[in-house]
Amino acid sequence: MQYPKHVEIIEVGPRDGFQNVKEFIPTQIKLDIINDLIESGIKEMQLTSFVNPKVLPQMADASEVTRTILKSGKKPLRPIALVPNFKGARDAYENGIRTVSFVISASEKHNMANVNCSKEESVDTLRNIISSFYDLDVRLDIATAFACPFEGMTPEDSVHDLVKIANDAGVKEIVICDTIGIANPKHVATLCEKLLTSSTAPLALHIHDTRGLGLVNMLAGLQTGIRRFETAIGGLGGCPFAPGAAGNTATEDAINMFESMGIATGIDLEKYLKAVEVVKQRIKCDLTSRMCYARTYEHEKIKLDVRK
């Protein structure tokens, strides 16, 4: 098996991770954590979501978080915001964001629960966003790509149809999401292999760790040719509109897996774990990652130093 020399990790903790934390996280704490993540080497990050604060109160400070980080001028960071509708895209654009993730579920019922509209309406909105903001890079998150909490296993054709629509519309990247964390390595490999041959847009993988298969499913994606992965600090997250969906695959666990395999991530694990410690101390939440509780041995430090 030939493994790549490097992979790219997109941090989604400040958006997908924080959105499930019930108690509002003070804005300054969010900013401190985001800055720590940047210092560790994170180069792409979902900073927030421009969504109705009545639906997700945790994202009520989306503008302040975005403007503060953009004003700080920290480089080289590619800031991303998730947007569920046209208004969210416009708000993100007006706040300086030039890359957004727009979400459409492969299953009709989850799309209605998640963004309160049909898949067809979401597709129309996707096209409208792309045609309205010429310099906005739009990524499509295909939610429930493997299974839906309301409809069961997702037919592959439903995913392929959305990929074709996204390619025709001109999206910059397609993210295949295991929203409820029910996929297995064979399922991931089979779907990714087919999509990699049919999609003209690059693909990324967003895997939840509900049943403890997050890392092995990412590895299955890697072996088929996926090189970009979305993960969240501490394993935080889950979909508020998908019953039973647990957290994301933890970024620190992914960094450890890739780096120990000799696959560079460009992220300093020791610095990243300092950011994890801040989350543990300052946010009322349960972290599910392994590395936030594991100790580091001297021989591991030597290996990391050699790779640097």
Closest CA to 154 of 179, 136, 129: 179
Please report, to the nearest 10 degrees, the dihedral formed by the alpha carbons of residues 161, 164, 168, 169 taken in order.
60
Catalytic residue among 148, 177, 239, 292, which? 239
8 Å CB contact between 46 and 11: yes
As given in the structure block, the two tokens for residue 137 are 């890079």
Tally Cβ neighbours within 10 Å of residue 16.
Answer: 26
Residue with tokens 């997109």: 10
Q: Is the distance from CB of 165 to CB of 124 less than 8 angstroms? A: no
Cα–Cα distance list, 254 to 176, 221, 235 (Å): 17, 13, 10
- 106: alpha, beta or left, given left = phi > 0 and alpha = psi -120 to 50? alpha
- Partner residues linked to 248 by β-bridges: 208
Q: Is 239 a catalytic residue?
A: yes
Cα(140)–Cα(273) distance, integer angstroms: 30
Q: Which residues are catalytic?
A: 239
